[in-house]
Copies of this chain bind each other. A is one copy, B any other.
Amino acid sequence: MTPPRAARPTLAVVGATGAVGTVVLQIVSHHADIWGEIRLLASPRSAGRKLAVRGEEVEVVALDETALAGVDVALFAVPDRVAAQWAPLAAAAGAVVVDTSGVFRTDPEVPLVVPEVNPHAVRMRPHGIVASPHCTTLSMIVALGPLHAEFGLRELVLSSYQAVSSAGREGVRTLRRQLSLVAGTELGTSPGDLRRAVGDDTGPFPEPVALNVVPWAGTADRDGWSSEETALRRETRRILGLPALPVAVTCVRVPVVTGHALTVHARFENDVTVDRAREILATAPGVVLCDDPEAGEFPTPADVVGTDPAWVGRVRRALDDPTALDFFVCADNLRKGAALNATQIAELVVGDRGGGGGARGA
């Protein structure tokens, strides 16, 4: 029996008007209605706007300490500097914070949680903060987790095909502006023609992204690796509990609006078979297997945008290594890659409470 709303936990969506916050509101409107109040917080600039949640209009409130009072779970979908300032305050006010920013992902005392893969980790949150991984990690980890559980992961080589919307609304606007410049032209066929047409209008990207691919995402980390590449390695190791897993990855931006894709070459402790890998993927939570290329069945970003799962196709055993699998995986970087995973963590937190008591875990 569902308790009445007044007896149910309060969810605050911090950054409710942003790209990820907007998707969070759609998702909580469609999931089982486990929340009492859903409070929408944003910058003072957005206060007073009304947004639809669960079929009702809810007014956006400015983020301040008063607005955080009585919140059980605070889902943060805000830029790093806002999260760094406000997430600890929300936790101090008694909320469990679920944060989608990059601020807390590297903190060993903040669990990094993917509900399908390491749900147990959500309980160990000494600071009252739980982090949701980077969208690129999330786009492939729900497929990799169950394969690791079966075969024992030993090494990983990844290449990404990353959509522009993970660079925010300005990423999307930049691609659309550039597409309008190149459509109906013969651009892309002579040296420098794209760069001349686009000029300085590269937005958040270092190079034109329309009719191009850009092998650089994030900032410089160390030894030539980008921050997104080292994050993908570090987060995969943490979520799978494999602190020494060899991971090589190249992150590449592609002219896709939404839907991250990755090629995965995974070597395991034991011999693999494609049949067993397909069985595992076909029944894994959060995964859809779409794998009959001769019949045109493989996932593409255009297929997965707006959907929840990670879609897997092109599952093959390496021709020269009976312990290795190659596959292609695609997921919506705004849903599973951000809003959906954070909402699932929030649901896991209140599910773990057993319906009563403090939201903060051990």
Contact = CB atoms under 8 A, between A and B. Distances in A.
Interface of A: 157, 159, 161, 165, 176, 179-180, 182-184, 187-195, 206-208, 211-216, 220, 223-226, 230, 233, 244-250, 252, 254-258, 261, 263, 265, 274, 291, 293-294, 296, 298-307, 313-321, 324, 326, 328
Given A317-B223, A319-B223, A302 B258 contact: no
A179 B180 CA distance: 9
B191 A306 contact: yes
B324 A248 contact: yes
Given A188-B305, A257-B189, A263 B159 contact: yes
Given A265-B248, A326-B248, A223 B316 contact: yes
The 8 closest A-B pairs by CB, nearest first: A183-B183, A188-B257, A246-B320, A159-B159, A191-B306, A224-B316, A250-B263, A194-B302
14 contacts: A157-B248, A161-B161, A179-B179, A179-B182, A191-B303, A191-B306, A195-B302, A211-B256, A211-B257, A224-B291, A224-B315, A233-B319, A248-B265, A250-B314
Given A157-B157, A212-B301, A261-B215, A224 B314 contact: yes
B252 A255 contact: no
A70 to B, nearest CB: 35
Contacts of A195: 302-303
A188 B224 contact: no
A351 to B, nearest CB: 28
A303 B172 CA distance: 22
Given A252-B328, A319-B248, A300 B207 contact: yes
A296 B212 CA distance: 15
A316 B233 CA distance: 15
A320 B224 CA distance: 14
A224 B293 contact: yes
Contact of A255 (B211, B245, B261, B303): B211
Contacts of A226: 293
B223 A274 contact: yes
Nearest to A233: B319
Contacts of A252: 161, 261, 263, 328
Of A176, A246, A304, the most chain B CB neighbours within 10 A belong to A176
A305 B213 contact: no
A204 B261 CA distance: 22
Contact of A220 (B176, B189, B294): B294
A257 B208 CA distance: 14
A255 B257 contact: no
Nearest to A225: B316
Contacts of A258: 188-189
Given A183-B183, A250-B326, A252-B263, 9 more contacts: A182-B183, A183-B184, A188-B305, A192-B303, A213-B300, A223-B316, A244-B320, A254-B254, A255-B255
Contacts of A216: 293, 298, 314
Contacts of A159: 159, 250, 263
Nearest to A195: B302
B274 A212 contact: no
B301 A213 contact: yes
A215 to B, nearest CB: 4
Contacts of A224: 274, 291, 293, 314-316
A306 B196 CA distance: 15
Of A183, A244, A324, the most chain B CB neighbours within 10 A belong to A183
